């Protein structure tokens, strides 16, 4: 750290008492949920400080601890301007693998009324193709018998058990991950695990706890060392853990919190701009399919075509036509828009966000964990289109691009660092198949990703798309879609 740059410190503002525990404290929630909650507290008050929990890695804790849990959020506009704010809503950060007892103690504290999560799709230890708990997941196998858990579902179940045993109301479980019907999915995973541990506990959770669904949206690229250095020179203060984000943000939450807390069941989120609605589903479909679906499509095809970031990808006119065609002909017809929302306007806004050159969102970063993301981001749209008699050639090409990507070798013969919980298995299946048709057949057999019925319907189209990618390359395959 340069001597002329003092370390970022907490202001003299009194620290907010904790009311939320957040599992999975990464850059996204620090740029999104923490900012919303802090705005709500500033506007309406309340004991809604956040205790962050990193489930595995101590890096975030270690960077934030010397700063007393304070960090900088930098919103980067397309014109190069930036809005910089200090975020002070965090009161502590724990590492679950180091001290699971401390995490459970915080979650069981009667002051905690909400537990939020951003543990990514794979963190729920479920089968992405069915949405059900995977009882064979190593962490779940451990959590079934050990009261000090490893998994996010395990922490939820064991903490809720402590609250029940102490005669306390449960907390509201507020997932902020990109999963279809995310509240219902997490509720199902938690109830399944609880029922395997203690059926009476599952009955109590089912009756008393709440799992509202949410839709979250703010593009948050990974922070690089050069970002930290640039911010230090700009502000004169050294922050080891800043987060970068786009100006846009949207949070839609089902208004369904644990009723035992009355008017103190949640922060005044509406005052901070959160949309509290009776049903998140239309917003969820809109965002998962139109943003996340095209993000993943652009990530796999853009990476294979040699584009480093999403903004680089949509600077290529071939990909401009591709993404606009996806929205117009394959994605928008697959669901009903939320009331009062024009999907054409939403698509135009999305394109503007993708094109923002200040947001260096790497295609490789978005391509991570594809086996967990494909079912809700792309395959659900394809399935709905098939049921309605519509074709999805662009989305099928994206699925084929994922298959090419997980093979671990790019179009120039260079290795791809594939980050995915099924990476070794996917690579082995790809390597064992000699032709595009064989590769498609092998990868479509992965039931964690593709249901048997959908795999049968996709066998021919995906094999053909994979053959086109192998023969012509990603950019030409996209161009030929028209």
Start-end of H helices in 286-390: 293-304, 310-313, 317-325, 343-354, 363-366, 370-374, 380-387
pLDDT value of position 277: 96
What's the token pair of residue 304? Answer: 């294979």
Number of alpha carbons in the 13 Å side-chain half-sphere of residue 217: 26
Cβ burial, residue 14 (10 Å; 0-12/13-18/19+):
exposed
Annotated domain spans of the chain: 18-277, 281-480
Closest CA to 408 of 303, 318, 320: 303
pLDDT value of position 482: 77
Residues 6+ apart with CB under 8 A from 23: 53, 55, 96, 115, 116, 117, 118, 119, 152, 155
pLDDT value of position 164: 98
pLDDT value of position 1: 44
Domain covering 281-480 in this structure, CATH number: 1.10.1040.10
pLDDT value of position 4: 75
pLDDT value of position 2: 47
End-to-end Cα spacing for the chain: 51
Q: How open is the CA angle 455-123-440, to the nearest 5 degrees?
A: 20
What residues of the chain score a pLDDT lower than 50?
1-3
Tell me the whole-structure pTM to 2 decimals.
0.93
pLDDT value of position 82: 97
pLDDT value of position 139: 98
3-state helix, strand, coil in the chain (%, to 5): 50, 15, 35
Q: How far is CA 144 from the centre of its chain?
A: 26
Looking at CATH, the fold of the domain delimited by 18-277 is given as: Rossmann fold (3.40.50)
């Amino acid at each position: 750290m340069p001597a002329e740059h003092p370390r970022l410190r907490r202001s003299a503002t009194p620290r907010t008492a904790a009311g939320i525990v957040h599992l999975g404290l990464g850059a996204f929630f620090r740029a999104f949920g923490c900012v919303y909650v802090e705005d709500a507290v500033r506007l309406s008050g309340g004991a809604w400080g956040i205790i962050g929990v990193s489930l595995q890695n101590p890096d975030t804790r270690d960077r934030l601890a010397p700063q007393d849990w304070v960090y900088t959020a930098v919103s980067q506009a397309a014109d190069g301007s930036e809005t910089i704010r200090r975020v002070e809503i965090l009161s502590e950060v724990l590492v679950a693998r180091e001290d699971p007892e401390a995490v459970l103690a915080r979650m069981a504290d009667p002051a905690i009324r909400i537990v939020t999560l951003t543990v990514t799709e794979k963190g729920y230890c479920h089968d992405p193709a069915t949405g059900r708990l995977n009882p064979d997941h190593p962490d779940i196998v451990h959590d079934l018998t050990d009261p000090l858990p490893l998994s996010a579902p395990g922490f939820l179940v064991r903490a809720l058990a402590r609250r029940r045993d102490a005669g306390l109301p449960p907390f509201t479980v507020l997932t902020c991950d990109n999963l279809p019907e995310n509240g219902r999915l997490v509720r199902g995973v938690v109830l399944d695990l609880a029922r395997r541990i203690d059926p009476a506990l599952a009955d109590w959770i089912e009756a008393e706890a709440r799992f509202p669904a949410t839709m979250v949206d703010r593009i948050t690229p990974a922070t690089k060392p050069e970002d930290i250095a640039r911010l230090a020179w700009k502000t004169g203060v050294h922050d080891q853990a800043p987060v970068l984000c786009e100006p846009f943000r949207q949070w839609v939450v089902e208004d369904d919190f644990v009723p035992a807390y009355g008017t103190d069941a949640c922060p005044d989120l509406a005052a901070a701009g959160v949309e509290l609605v009776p049903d998140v589903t239309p917003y969820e479909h809109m965002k998962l399919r139109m943003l996340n679906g095209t993000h993943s499509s652009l990530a796999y095809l853009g990476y294979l075509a040699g584009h480093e970031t999403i903004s680089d990808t949509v600077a290529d006119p071939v990909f401009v036509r591709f993404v606009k065609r996806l929205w117009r002909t394959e994605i928008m017809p697959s669901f009903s828009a939320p009331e009062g929302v024009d999907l054409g306007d939403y698509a135009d806004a999305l394109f503007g966000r993708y094109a923002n050159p200040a947001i260096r969102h790497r295609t490789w970063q978005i391509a991570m964990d594809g086996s967990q993301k494909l079912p809700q981001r792309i395959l659900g749209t394809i399935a709905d289109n098939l049921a309605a008699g519509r074709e999805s050639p662009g989305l099928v090409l994206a699925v084929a691009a994922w298959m090419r990507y997980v093979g671990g070798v790019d179009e120039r013969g260079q290795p791809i660092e594939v980050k995915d919980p099924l990476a070794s298995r996917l690579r082995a299946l790809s390597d064992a198949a000699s032709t595009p048709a064989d590769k498609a057949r092998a990868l479509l057999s992965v039931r964690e990703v593709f249901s048997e019925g959908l795999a049968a319907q996709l066998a021919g189209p995906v094999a053909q798309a994979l053959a086109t990618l192998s023969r012509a390359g990603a950019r030409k395959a996209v161009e030929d879609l028209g």
